[in-house]
Amino acid sequence: MRRVLDVLLDNPILLKELRIGLRERKIFLLQSLYLVVLGSATALFLFSASAPRDLLELPDQGRLLHGILFWSQLAMVVLITPSLTCGQISGERENHSLDLLRASRLRTVEIVLGKLGYALAYVGLLLVSSLPMVAVVFLLGGVAPGEVAASYGVLALVAALVGLLGLFFSAREQKTGHATNQAYGILILTFILSLGALPALAEMLSRGQTLGTGRFAFPLWLYLLVHACGLAAFLFLKIQNHLRRRVAHEIWLGRLFTLVWLVNCGLLGLLMSTGNSWTDPEPVAATWCAVLVVALASLGCFLDPQPFAAPREEARRRAGLAFRPWFWNGVLLLGLALMAGAQGALGAPPVQVLSTLGLCAGVSVGFAVVARSLHTLLGGRPRFATLYYALLPAILVLPTLPLASEESELTFWLGTQVSPLPAVWSLWNDMPAVSLGGWTLDLPTACLLSWLGLAALLGALCALRRSRPGVEA
Amino acid sequence: MIRCRGLTHRYDKRLALDGLDLQVAAGEAFAFIGPNGAGKTTTIRILATLLEPTAGEAFVAGFSTLDQADEVRRVLGYMPDAFGVYDGMRVWEYLEFFAAAYRIPRPDRRRTLDDVLELTDLGARRETNIEHLSKGMKQRLCLAKTLLHDPQVLVLDEPASGLDPRARIDLKELLRELTRMGKTLFVSSHILPELADFCSTVGILEAGRLVACGRVDEILRAVDQGRSMRVRVLRDLEKAGGVVEETPGSSRVRVQDGVLLFQFEGPLEDLADLAERLADQRLGLVEFAEARTDLEDVFMRVTQGVVS
């Protein structure tokens, strides 16, 4: 315990960053900007709000002001935190001081915690300085102190996650500019993609939504918190890997991921059965889609071509079962099978369950081959892996938009060729087959064929490249 | 104190180190020289536990750089060729940060800081902002940081690069003082005469291989077949060169900066004859002497300008 406290509190990196960082003009300007935005929002609200006709309207105004302040703070925390972490490690690299730190007796965990601690300490300062504005909410009423505390907890958690994302890119990239572009690129893309879902999610959270019902009811906030912690742990370990001369923690990363994944899939299979989902198939389709996105993103992380510090280590890595992409593909498929098994055992229609499992398995295998082949064909440079990180959300989610806008069959069919999500959806919602040039294909078959076809094509190109003399595999 | 056994490192397809075997005794000042791209920095990074070799192993004070990295870091002080200091910090803050990074107990830090500041002659700059220090002072500050945990071995990569002549002399004095204190020095540099002044042994690296290693005079004896001679005449250097070339035992006759240089193998009587013949030619002979062979000569003779 004392050792953990020492790493957190008696951390030379944290002290150094606070000494240097808090002397910068940027820090003062950011804080001023933060307070000006929040102060303006509060003042604007108070002056523009119509005078309440009766006192019972005041709590509504309090809730509205609390909402305005929370979303403004969330936006600013998401924008400010990466600016504090994106240059932390790449900046040391550019300054030629990273080697001095690595050659000292500091452990990588101290370096990462020190850097993250600085960003969180500053965000903490911003959040504390916003308290006078938030206190106005209590004058109006309608919001319990527990809710305010919970919203600050959410802001701190988001700051930690976004800070870790910035540190991750900072550790990956040689230049701060590249790290900043990538971190903000991912955040903006995620924001655009989740624009529709965010208010609904907030609404569900404030309603105390649970997954499943009765004995199996599981609070949505806890479910999200567990996943956020898993993601934070994953990023934290990955950052350390980029700082070490040997790749470490891969086994822990694997164990962590396997545990979360398998428990998650079993739990979801169980929960879906308790909500009378077979007669209302939309939640089932949505769960399968969400799980598939997580599966592909995780698989991509394990296929991430991280440069190895030492060829000796790479040889060791290649020799181990736990480091083979096929192993992770197997783990992912096991999770999907667990989910399908739980559904089947609780009475879901077997044909639909098996079809969904088959489609997800096929796409997952195809995805692994496509990602690996692209990496080889593009020269195996880590920069292309970043491209993968940037494009994955777009590839998976953007083509599903026609689903919402009910575009023509052709647009829908084309979307299916890129993203497997509409195909999964169609399995549970009886979407019609698509006729194209005299061929009639149902969407899952079309999707499966396109993914496996692409995988076969790229796999063949890779094999051809490897078989050429002088080209190393 | 330092031992490398079959050290090999490969960057993708380029072989940077090719089975390097090396040994440096305790208290020795070892000059590690070689042309650009020879593998000096790679070797140093492996010793500093920043890089894992593709094959082979290195030991510092008996600790393996592969499996006992923390022990190696405890006994080794590393100063890279390009190093960054943190602008926005004062000198004492920078040193205190590294003192904490090297796990120097808090009560001892102030005394340690005072000692290294005095040794590196930076005591008067204790409160100065680092960004206001000159390049030479920053170099000394980095050396002060390297000395904080009182390491037995100092590995310095190009410590004098980019310094003006005065700063170089100051640094050289400081390194000499460190050898007197019994530290083992492993120094790489391009400026060979500087190393020759205080380094007792030398290792010459080319294309990832050690082409010569040992005491400077031993290597000289090994590479020097005979004597290096220099002749200066006031008139017709070419004719003087002809006379030298005709003399049996002379070789590698060349002109450098208006001076005739050659190697001579044979009895001293033959050398005396040659001097008399040159004088008889009435070419204005003003110098006929044995040239002092230095580290630079040794380096030029054992390396062939090959880069790995």
pLDDT one-digit tens code per residue, A240-274: 878 876 655 566 666 777 777 787 777 777 766 66
What's chain A's Rg over C-alpha atoms?
25
- Assigned token pair, B101: 């990074």
Q: Judge: A99–B89 Cβ closer than 8 Å, yes or no.
A: no
pLDDT of residue B219: 74
pTM for this structure? 0.76
Mean per-residue pLDDT, B121-139: 88
User: Does residue B98 register a pLDDT over 90?
Assistant: yes
User: Does residue A80 register a pLDDT over 80?
Assistant: yes
Q: Give the 3-state secondary structure of residue A278.
A: coil
pLDDT of residue B155: 92
pLDDT of residue A471: 45
Of A150-154, A166-170, A378-382, B150-154, the range with the lowest mean pLDDT is A378-382
Chain B residues whose C-beta sits inside 8 Å of any chain A C-beta: 10, 45, 48-55, 70, 73-74, 78, 80, 82-86, 88-89, 93, 97-98, 100-103, 145
**Burial bucket for residue B95 (CB in 10 Å: 0-12, 13-18, 19+):** buried
pLDDT band, very low/low/confident/very high, at A215 (cuts 50, 70, 90): low
Mean per-residue pLDDT, A317-344: 76
Amino acid at A144: A
- Angstrom distance (rounded) from CA A82 to CA A164: 8
Average pLDDT, chain A: 79
- Angstrom distance (rounded) from CA A465 to CA A460: 9
pLDDT of residue A226: 80
**Residues near A20 by Cβ (< 8 Å), separated by ≥ 6?**
B86, B88, B89
pLDDT of residue B113: 92
User: Does residue A184 register a pLDDT over 60?
Assistant: yes
**Segment A28-44, tens digit of pLDDT:** 898 999 999 999 988 88
Terminal alpha carbon distance of chain A: 47
A104 closest CB neighbour out of B10, B85, B101? B101
pLDDT band, very low/low/confident/very high, at A167 (cuts 50, 70, 90): very high
ipTM above 0.85, yes or no: no
> Which helix H or strand E contains A231, and what residues bound it?
helix A220-243
Mean per-residue pLDDT, A425-449: 74
Do the bridges between strand B227-233 and strand B259-264 make them parallel or antiparallel, or are there none, so unpaired?
antiparallel
User: Does residue A310 register a pLDDT over 60?
Assistant: no
User: Does residue A4 register a pLDDT over 70?
Assistant: no
pLDDT of residue B47: 92
Do the bridges between strand B153-157 and strand B184-188 make them parallel or antiparallel, or are there none, so unpaired?
parallel
Task: Count CB pairs under 8 A between chains A and B.
Answer: 77
**Residues near A85 by Cβ (< 8 Å), separated by ≥ 6?**
A115, A116, A119, A163, A164, A166, A167, A170
B299 or B159, which is more confident?
Answer: B159
User: Does residue B294 register a pLDDT over 70?
Assistant: no
pLDDT band, very low/low/confident/very high, at A411 (cuts 50, 70, 90): low
For residue B80, the chain A residues in CB contact (below 8 A) are 96, 99-100
- B-contacting residues of A 102-121, CB under 8 Å? 102-106
- B-contacting residues of A 55-94, CB under 8 Å? 92
pLDDT of residue A316: 60
Q: How far is CA B296 from CA A260, B31, B157, B162, in A?
A: 64, 12, 18, 20
Of A168-172, A192-196, A244-248, the range with the lowest mean pLDDT is A244-248
